[in-house]
Chain A
Amino acid sequence: MNIQEFDMMLNQSFSFKEQMNQKGVLLCYEGDISQKIIEDIGRIIKHNIEVNANPILMRRLFGIFIEQAQNILHYSTDEKFDEYDNEDLKKAVAILGKNGNDKYYMITGNLVTKSQQKNLSLLLEEIKKLSRKELMDLYVRKVKTGSIVKGKGGGVGLLEIARFASEPLEYTINDIDDNFSYFIMKAVIKGRN
């Protein structure tokens, strides 16, 4: 890349940043997911000046990010999916932002295999039907009977996210090809209870 091309790209990235600011985006990450990267982004979320001023909000946003990022990490390293050998399974997008005065959101996007897609939508549809009380009861039951073997939490991570969120989780799944889909999930958290 020569310096003129670089200058043009820089201008484009500034205008993209401007658009993100208008949408209330506080943090945007696109790239590989590893435990180390999860810890680094987690630290950035905790130390975001605005989020840090509200400890309850900070811990919920942090918790939602950790659960979803580790879900992505576990699925991408699950031996079952080795046949696909797709490096893109280890990549994700995470956006932390603010809607209006008092609502924050965490959006994550990642590639999933068709079998993961099926599990995810079954679980999310099941969670949707639960009242707050039923959600808590199911979470407690799953935690008390769960296995600590890696990636065998039986969906307890998604229940944790739903329990931290102030509104029902929203998600979309878009077909990419015969093997893969793109999964986007949004969790909304109120700044005040």
Chain B
Amino acid sequence: MENLILKSTESTPLIDFNLTNNLLRIKGESYPENPAEFYLPILEWLENYLKQLSQPSTIEFLIEYLNSSSCIAFIRLMELFDKYFQDGKNLTINWYYHPENEMSLEYGQLFQSDLKIPFNIKEV
């Protein structure tokens, strides 16, 4: 497997998934025209990564804005992390938000509900 790194664009976030330190970072804004086109390959990479994972892994989010269809894609991401956590993988999610961005905090709270995986919401 190789690291997955996608630079941020005006409407897609930075994807920085690093295999050497098992730190997965998603940072920025997300409102692509076609969220399936952007997120399906990411979900596929994650599925392969989580399957073979034996070390602890941390997933960090710093999200400024999500349109509604990206929000649906994020639910899929969270469900995937939660599934592997419940299968015994050592996973932690850290959701960071800027204090003036109430929307980002609300997204964190929305994703946090219904999940078993450790999900920390932290002000930056």
Contacts and interface: CB of A to CB of B under 8 A. Distances in A.
Interface of A: 35, 38-39, 42-43, 55-56, 59-60, 62-63, 66-67, 70, 73, 140, 143-144, 146-150, 153, 156-157, 159-160
Interface of B: 10-11, 31-37, 39-40, 65, 67-69, 71-73, 75-76, 100-103, 110, 114
A149 B75 contact: no
Given A39-B11, A70-B31, A146 B72 contact: yes
B11 A35 contact: yes
17 contacts: A35-B11, A59-B103, A63-B67, A66-B65, A67-B67, A70-B31, A70-B33, A140-B110, A143-B75, A148-B72, A149-B36, A150-B37, A153-B68, A156-B71, A156-B72, A157-B68, A159-B68
A67 to B, nearest CB: 6
B119 to A, nearest CB: 15
Given A70-B31, A73-B33, A39 B67 contact: no
Given A35-B33, A63-B103, A148-B36, A153 B10 contact: no
B68 A148 contact: no
A186 B71 CA distance: 23
Given A66-B67, A73-B33, A143 B72 contact: yes
A43 B10 contact: yes
B101 A55 contact: yes
Contacts of B36: 148-150
Contacts of B10: 39, 42-43
A153 B33 CA distance: 12
A89 B102 CA distance: 35
Contacts of B37: 150
A93 B65 CA distance: 23
A149 B39 CA distance: 10
B44 to A, nearest CB: 13
B100 A62 contact: no
B65 A56 contact: no
A63 B75 CA distance: 19
A156 B72 CA distance: 9
Given A153-B72, A160-B68, A148 B35 contact: yes
| A39, A56, A67: most-surrounded residue (chain B CB, <10 A) | A39
A59 B101 contact: yes
